[in-house]
Amino acid sequence: MFGNLEGVEERFQEIENLLGDPDIIKDQVTYQKHVREHAELNKIVTVYRAYKKILADIEESQALLQDGDADIKELAREELAELRRREDELEQDLRLRLLPKDPNDEKNVVLEIRAGTGGEEAALFAADLFRMYDRYAESRNWKVEVLTHHPTGVGGMKEIIALVQGRGAYSVLKYESGTHRVQRVPTTETQGRIHTSAVTVAVLPEAEDVEVEIDPGDLKVDVFRSSGPGGQSVNTTDSAVRITHLPSGLVVTCQDEKSQLKNKNKALKVLRARLLDRMTSEQDEERSQQRKNQVGSGDRSERIRTYNYPQGRVTDHRIGLTLYRLESILQGDIQEIVQELTTHYQSQALQNAELGSLQR
């Protein structure tokens, strides 16, 4: 796995030299491309150089073990134990950094949250989940823009789609896709019985125009009067837009803006993200099946995570993580869950890579 590290370091040095070239600096497109590559390579090269330094220090300490002075030999043994521990840490870090990167990791996210089984209670929890992600995004200084939403009369959301803008947003949120189950006593329940409802979350990488080229001739665009809780221009003008992508059959509706043009642009943004996800899924059947299994149908029996109000408990069933701080999690404090999931799936990828290497 470490065979190409010398080449990575050479490429890093080459890019570093190019960034000082006046001709490259003048060409801002090329310059920014090199800046991004330099930043990515720097993450690996910094660790690799520290790793090489540790290996050199280990060699020196091993030589000192041959010294005739007993005190020096004892110091060398102590230092060698610490150096070996640090070597293992850096080696593991390098293995993780050398794993193939998801090309979508640095992208923004189109976040889709939909109420599943459970009626109004599911819609209320969909709104709760959106607030959770919105506050988490705020804690990371990301920007959240609602693209379209369908509220209910009592504060719930049948559906809400938002664009989350921030570096690496997809790499952080991609494991949130799936069915989220809530167990609590609904405010409308007079008997005090605990109900179980479900909400589906889909996390899609935002598609750039160059990645998904849409032929205007493939689109059927309908305009109609907005529905739902009113406001100025809502329910009074034909500003809502429904776009049907004829080749795929995908349909996106947007009615949040007063402007028909703004609604159309937002709908196209969602459509591009869905088309990119479909294209990627078709190229990788295994990933398609994985996403299907994660998101599911919104049935209560399918779940990746359960939010249990009576016990103040949140359990992620994929990694067996249970936290007894429901309230803070719903306020957006989900970093521990995000980190545990990332570590779990990185470890899985590392095991698969090592297994593949052994089989070869």
Please state the rounded mean pLDDT for residues 46-69. 90
* pLDDT for residue 153: 79
- What predicted TM-score, i.e. pTM, was given to this entire model? 0.69
More reliable by pLDDT, 19 or 298: 19
| Radius of gyration, alpha carbons of the chain | 26
pLDDT digits (tens, 9 = 90+) for 196-218: 999 999 999 988 765 687 888 99
How many residues appear in the chain?
Answer: 360
Which class is domain 109-210+300-347? alpha beta
pLDDT of residue 291: 45
Q: What is the pLDDT of residue 93?
A: 85
Instruction: Give residue for tokens 């150096």.
Output: 83
Beta pairing partners, 307: 182, 314
Q: Give the pLDDT score at 288.
A: 45
Nearest CA to 108 among 137, 150, 149?
Answer: 137
Lowest mean pLDDT among 33-37, 227-231, 250-254: 227-231
The torsion angles phi and psi of 46, rounded to 5 degrees, stand at -60, -45
Which DSSP category does 296 fall into?
A: -
**pLDDT (0 to 100) of residue 257:** 84
Q: Which two tokens stand for residue 206?
A: 């935002």
Locate 24 and state its tokens: 């490259």
Residue 209: the pLDDT is 62
- Domains in the chain: boundaries: 5-97, 109-210+300-347, 216-281
Would you state the pLDDT for residue 101? 78
Whether the predicted pLDDT of 192 surpasses 80: no
Share of the chain above pLDDT 70, in %: 86
Residues 150 and 176: their CA atoms lie apart, in Å, by: 21
Reading the block at residue 91, the tokens are 């080696």
Mean pLDDT, residues 157-182 taken together: 94
Q: What is the largest CA-CA distance in the chain?
A: 94
Contact 241, 254 (CB under 8 A): yes
**pLDDT band with cut points at 50, 70 and 90 for residue 231:** very low
Question: How far apart are the C-alpha atoms of 28 and 209, rounded to whole Å?
Answer: 20
Report yes or no: 55 and 15 within 8 Å, Cβ to Cβ.
no
Query: What is the model's pLDDT at position 157?
Result: 94
Mean pLDDT of the region 276-301: 57
Amino acid at 136: Y
Q: Is the pLDDT of residue 287 over 60?
A: no
HSE, side-chain direction, 13 A CA sphere, residue 170 = 17
Residue 327: is its pLDDT beyond 90?
yes
Residues 148-163 have a mean pLDDT of 90
Which residues are paired to 305 by β-bridges? 180, 316
Over 50: is that where the pLDDT of 121 sits?
A: yes
3-state secondary structure of 103: coil
Whether 360 shows a pLDDT value over 60: the answer reads no
Alpha-carbon span 150 to 173, nearest angstrom: 23
Same fold, 109-210+300-347 and 216-281: no
- On average, the pLDDT of the chain sits at 85
Enumerate the H helices of the chain as residue ranges: 5-18, 22-26, 28-64, 70-97, 119-139, 169-173, 260-283, 285-295, 326-330, 335-359
Indicate if the pLDDT at residue 235 is higher than 70: no
- CATH of span 216-281: 3.30.160.20
Whether residue 140 is predicted with pLDDT greater than 80 in this model: the reply is yes
Three-class SS state of 148: strand
Q: Answer yes or no: is pLDDT of 246 > 50.
A: yes
Give the pLDDT band (50/70/90) at residue 258: confident
Residues 275 and 265 sit within 8 Å (Cβ to Cβ): no
Tokens of 352: 């698969």
